[in-house]
Amino acid sequence: MKRYGAEFLGTFWLVLGGCGSAVLAAAFPQVGIGLHGVSLAFGLTVLTMAFAIGHISGCHLNPAVSIGLWAGGRFPVNQILPYIVAQVLGAVVAGGVLYLIASGAAGFDVSKGFVSNGYGAHSPGGYSMMAALLTEVVMTMFFLIIIMGATDPRAPAGLAPIAIGLALTLIHLISIPVTNTSVNPARSTGVALIVGDWAVAQLWLFWLAPIVGAVLGAGAYRLIASEDK
């Protein structure tokens, strides 16, 4: 239960910190942090939580990561569902808290998207469904390769949180214009449920693509990292 609690709190922090930076600070008058700031905020949530709870739960914070680590032989199958439940609950509660904060400002309109992930008319850059699908698969694939590589016993000790946090920052710098960046079904769910409508209708892609990408990334890392006997 301590591990599930850690995943709940960690995912809460990821959604509140990452999505909160986009909703509250990205376009704030004169001192808005923009795309670069939002990307860094997402990376910092993972970096800080990896140091805080990595030794408790592994700091997955992401259903795709949990499934990918299982595919990579790093995580037991009987822990996948409890981890996913804890992660989604943390994201949903964070989405609710963020909504309560954001709705305290005059002119707030949740129908503008609330940083939900989307494609087509709901992609920040108007990218198609296939472009969004490919982006999410490839970004999550490399995220898993980096996670597995950074946490490999042969990697430099103690530096994994930095590599993983910077990887998520880079992923956001690349893909925010395409999908608002998911690579995390829990993050997508936490805000989509607040928006409803199109955000929920398009949510399937932001579960399917990250999970497929995570499994591919785990397989690729196992292939390149296996030691010859």
- Over residues 84-104, the mean pLDDT reads 95
Considering just the CA atoms, what is the radius of gyration of the chain in Å?
17
Are 201 and 82 spatial neighbours (Cβ–Cβ below 8 Å)? no
Which amino acid would we find at residue 144? L
Are 62 and 183 spatial neighbours (Cβ–Cβ below 8 Å)? yes
Tens of pLDDT along 43-71? 999 999 999 999 999 999 999 999 999 99
Which amino acid would we find at residue 213? G
What is the pLDDT, as a whole number, of residue 157? 83
Tens of pLDDT along 109-152? 887 778 999 999 999 999 999 999 999 999 999 999 999 999 99
Q: Which CATH number fits domain 2-225: 1.20.1080.10, 1.10.10.10, 3.40.50.300, 1.10.150.120?
A: 1.20.1080.10
3-state secondary structure of 114: coil
Sole residue written with tokens 């042969």: 154
The whole-model pTM stands at: 0.92
Are 92 and 190 spatial neighbours (Cβ–Cβ below 8 Å)? yes
